[in-house]
Structure 1
Amino acid sequence: MSAVVLPPSTPPAVADFISREHGLFIDGGWRAGESGERLVTYNPATGQPLSTIAAGTRADVDAAVAAARRALSDPVWRDITPLERGELLHRLAELVATHADELAYIESLDNGKPLSVARAVDAGTTTKLFRYFAGWPSKFEGSTIPLSPRNGMRILNYTVHEPIGVVGAIVPWNFPMSMASWKLAPALATGNTVVLKPAEETSLSTLRLAELIAEAGFPPGVVNVVTGIGTVVGAAIAEHPGVDKVAFTGSTEVGRRITTAATGNMKKVSLELGGKSPHIVLADADPVAVAAAAAEGIFFNQGQTCTAGSRLYVHADIYDDVMSALIARAQEIVVGPGQDPATQMGPLVSARQLETVTGYVQSGVAQGARVAAGGDTPANLDEKYRGGYFLSPTVLAETTQAMRVVQEEIFGPVLVAMPWRDVDELIDKANDSPYGLAAGIWTNDITAAHRIAAAVKAGTVWINCYNLTDPASPFGGYKQSGWGREMGRGVLEEYTEIKSVWVNLT
């Protein structure tokens, strides 16, 4: 690999971490991959090599699963009290908070997102998640159930929650560390062990998180991290007979493959998949405020967000006003490297993703859409970033429901906009999608807001806000947007088995 050039502002701790030869974290220690092969990770802002990671194999997954199974039955982990388990999670949360600036810088370099977003969202969310779930081990209770047994028997019936076992967690590249914490926090809070595969494009922050997991005092084998290609490492986890559950976040296409692979030993599966979320604007909404919210809803994280408000439906009475303000907003967004404090939107994660997104823009134009903003490489980029994976914030007007850009998830900074007049037709169009992850509604009419919220098939509906999440609130989708829920109390059910115990007291 050629010499790595880091921004002058790179903190020494980050530069030191980036320069290491990163291995696999298995059974509490670091080791080289079985094959000895390595993968290059790239800086999306320059297109140049950033670091290297181990290319894990099926043999490495076997070793990680074996370590996780040993830890699962080891009294050191199996028999610790709920308060002790919560304390480990709390220690990890505080370590993440202490190293938040370092973790955010690693994330920004590896993923491309603005440093401010990586600090507030990625590192901030990870800290909040571990803090929140640190409180659950001592509070996730079973229940006693009043029964009506035959023959006058006196029965005590109660339930207990037990860990499922070894969890295979496979996470995406758009929010690498925080998506890992979405899986790790509830899995560990409920006493499971984990084999975690980060995305091959963005493994660095998760590898640094593994160091903090060891520092927090989690026993060896409780958390294992195997980097590598999805079709090798991810597939091996999904198929592995020693894995009891797979928790996956990523595309619907890969989610289908994981579901098929998991049938071998009938392992439990939870999936957080794609989205094509409608952002709905009623006639009484403020056009300027809506334009700002719509821009944030689609251009946040370069549009690489499963809940991105990628379909904008605006009442015809204010459509022109909203579009005028939205186009102006899109053209004002500063695009650049994530480490530049002025940057508001960074590059896409990879050359492949840039090619995919620009292909969708071309498809839209070919089917009759008009590029109202963006659709090209930002003109004001410094020469040293010309090899980066940049795309200007893009708005497509004159789109129709049948277009690919309206029906398919683009996963980039591309918004499609359409006017509407009849609310029933609007709801039909909003639901005319294989996805059902999220939706946004903007209006001062609370009756209309609740009516539309009830009619839209989506796991999350935001009214006069957008893209808000919290560890206490469940998150997930309808239809092909997934199975199960992340976060909140409900996610604990995804990581436990419920045992019903009957005691004859007669």
Structure 2
Amino acid sequence: MSDVVDEQSAPSVALGLRAAEHAETRMLIDGELVAAASGAEFANISPATGRELGVTAAAGAEDMDRAIAAARRAFDESDWLANRALRRRCLEQLQSAIEGDSELLREELIAEVGCPRMTTQNAQLDWPLADALRYPARLIDEFEWERTLDGGGLFGERNVRTVVQAPVGVVAAICPSNFPVEVILNKLGPALAAGNTVVLKPDPNTPWNATRLGRLIAEHTDIPPGVVDVVPTPSNEVAALLSNDPRVDLISFTGSTAVGKHLMRQGADTMKRMFLELGGKSALIALDDADVGAAVRGALGICVHAGQACAANSRMLVHRSLFEPIVAALTIAFETVPVGDPTLPETLVGPVISAAQQARVLEVCERGQRAGARLVTGGGRPEGLSGHLAGGHFLRPTLFITEDSANPLAQEEVFGPVLTVLPFDDDDQAVRMANDSAYGLAGAVVSSSLDRGMAIARRVRSGVFGVNGGMFYGADAPFGGVKNSGVGRQCGVEGFRQYLETRTIAYRAPRKR
């Protein structure tokens, strides 16, 4: 059984009370912080305790319509898309405002996301805060917005063509619950820097970080009314207005593959552009020359934030010569990983986001076992949780082994602290097994030979890949997947281009003498 980091003084409850005291419960529409037109609200539930933290305004169809109209008007009628200096200044103001609220935001994330405190020091908060807005703000000045082509005229006339990069228009940014601030900032930054307007729809499980950003935008920046609208809602029908409305030009979605496919179908009638960052079933490959300790440390990534990361390596492919020692070391590691209260600095595995997700993880594990996977350690809820944590959505770090690549645990995205280990006999088989997936988001390899590791990396079909612990994360590095893992890229120049249209303008000019 995993060591449980239990609570004596109910720190998660105290944190929840503090988060509720400082939370922004209103949405941002057309520059104003407002309640829902109907007055409706919905509960924000703590994943660590199962208790209500507080409430948030629940947008209805009227609110969503008003937000889309405001974003459309701001794009069509204001000088936002043409005024690059204003865009850069506003992003710098927002950066400063978030930094001023960063510690409140950190505590809010731990309370509503259930993420362990240590994760806020990297991808949950500190990493995106460092460059998610700064990088696209810098691109406003550095990007090649226009280029000129000469030639191709008729009747001896000089023909000049100017290729212009222009904003797409109104962007619907639909964000997940697992890394909400990281995803929101990496959507807002390039979308706004490129000159678009944005309707932001946060996940209903984690609305307060987005509504807080709405308040900071309204109170601390010169972002014009309607350029950013923050519209939380628990209603799928209300959210669907974003994909159906012809006034919305682009859907920028991060979440499950099933929902991504549904959005593509919904957006087809209005020919919406799509950026979809979806699920994954990434493989960590330990070659026969891998250091066992390094391989095990890499595999523990599935335990961080209870495995709720699309790029997490939830499969581990191990050369048969190292299979037994690596499984033995993983067993010890999984049984000693600290599980429990996310407020505590030593906790690595906090709760999953909801009771529904907890049930789904257990259901996939059960199907995997019925299909022949062997449970090595973990499974079910951790023992020893008491008091307020007893109602939380916790799961034990869970390790399975199987020889069958078709097993549900080797094919489906579990989105929990569950690792499935499979043996292989040579490098070619490892690559075939890694590519034997409907997904293609991430992956990794451990080898004592960099050349060998790089050769594996170039053969595995994934959008990002790590060799010997290499980190692909950063606002300057494109992130996204192939196959069922999505369409397009987030971050980098490639991610910036996601929010731009290419236009060609031609004119006749006198011949050069």
Contact 2:12 2:342 in 1 (8 A): no
**Aligned residue for 2:116?**
114
User: Which of these residues, 102, 105, 111, is aligned with residue 103 of structure 1?
Assistant: 105
- Residue equivalent to 1:264: 269
Which of 230, 239, 243 in structure 2 is aligned with 1:234?
239
In structure 2, what residue type is equivalent to 1:261?
A: Q
Counterparts of 1:40-189 in structure 2, within 5 Å, are: 40-80=43-83, 82-127=84-129, 128-141=131-144, 142-189=146-193
* Contact 1:293–1:466 (Cα < 8 Å) also in 2: no
**In angstroms, what is the RMSD of aligned CA positions?**
1.8
8 Å CA contact 1:307, 1:467 repeated in 2: no
Q: How does 1:193-232 map to 2 (within 5 A)?
A: 193-214=197-218, 215-229=220-234, 231-232=236-237
Q: CA deviation at 1:198?
A: 0.4
Q: 2:326 aligns with which of 322, 329, 335?
A: 322
* Distance of 1:394 and 1:242 partners within structure 2: 46
Q: Label 1:399 to 1:9 Cα distance change in 2 as closer, same or farther (>3 A).
A: farther
For the residue of structure 2 that corresponds to 1:280, the secondary structure is strand
1:310 correspondence with 2:314:
yes
**What code does the residue aligned with 2:294 have?**
A
Which residue of structure 2 aligns with residue 10 of structure 1? 15
2:6 corresponds in structure 1 to none
Distance 1:389 1:153 in 2: 71
Say whether 1:295 aligns with 2:292: no
Q: Is the contact made by 2:294 and 2:446 (CA closer than 8 Å) also made in structure 1?
A: no
DSSP 3-state at the match of 1:405 = helix
What are the Cα deviations for residues 317-372 of structure 1, in whole angstroms up to 9, with x where unaligned?
A: 11111111111111111111211222111000000000000111111211121211
TM-score by length of 2: 0.93
Specify the code of the residue in structure 2 equivalent to 1:495.
Y
Shift of 1:146: 4.1
Question: How many Å separate the matches in 1 of 2:217 and 2:134?
Answer: 14
- Which of 490, 494, 500 does residue 496 from structure 1 map onto? 500
CA deviations on 1:437-492 (whole Å, 9 max, x unpaired) are 11101112233222221211101111111664100000111111111110000112
Gaps of 5+ in 2: 1-9
Task: Give the partner amino acid of 2:61.
Answer: R
**For 1:270-289, what aligned pairs fall within 5 Å after superposition?**
270-289=275-294
Is residue 27 from structure 1 mapped to residue 42 from structure 2 by the alignment?
Answer: no
Does the 8 Å CA contact 1:41/1:202 hold for their aligned counterparts? yes
TM-score (norm 1): 0.94
**In structure 2, what is the Cα distance between the partners aligned to 1:387 and 1:14?**
19
CA distance in 1, matches of 2:82, 2:368: 57
Alpha-carbon distance between aligned partners in 2 of 1:427 and 1:187, rounded to the nearest angstrom: 36
Question: Cα distance, 1:197 vs. partner?
Answer: 0.3
Task: Kindly indicate whether structure 1 or structure 2 has the higher relative contact order, using CA contacts under 8 Å at least 6 residues apart.
Answer: 2
**Alignment of 1:243 onto 2:214:** no
Pairwise CA distance, 1:230: 5.2
Greater alpha carbon shift after TM alignment, 179-188 vs 335-344 = 335-344
Residue by residue, what CA displacement relative to the aligned partner does 1:5-57 show, whole Å, maximum 9, x if unpaired? Answer: 97476398634224x6x222101112222333221111111111111112222
- Structure 1 spans left out of the alignment, 5+ residues: none
Residue aligning to 1:38: 41
Alignment check: 8 A CA contact 1:370 1:399 kept: no
SS in 2 for 1:460: coil
Q: CA deviation at 1:79?
A: 4.0
Distance 1:347 1:119 in 2: 18
- How far apart are the structure 1 equivalents of 2:91 and 2:468? 34
Note the alpha carbon deviations across 1:129-170, whole angstroms, 9 max, x for none. Answer: 011111111222121224344443322222111111111111
Q: Residues 496, 484 of structure 1: CA spacing in aligned structure 2 closer, same or farther, 3 A cutoff?
A: same
Q: Which residue of 2 aligns with 1:368?
A: 372
Q: Is the partner of 1:314 in helix, strand or coil?
A: strand
CA–CA distance in 2 between the matches of 1:480 and 1:271?
10
Q: What is the CA–CA distance in structure 2 between the aligned matches of 1:132 and 1:124, rounded to whole Å?
A: 15
Take 1:253 and 1:12, find their aligned partners in 2: how far apart are those partners? 35
Question: Percent same amino acid among aligned pairs?
Answer: 35
1:363–1:11 distance in 2 versus 1, CA, 3 Å:
closer
- Matches of 1:87 and 1:179, distance apart in 2: 22
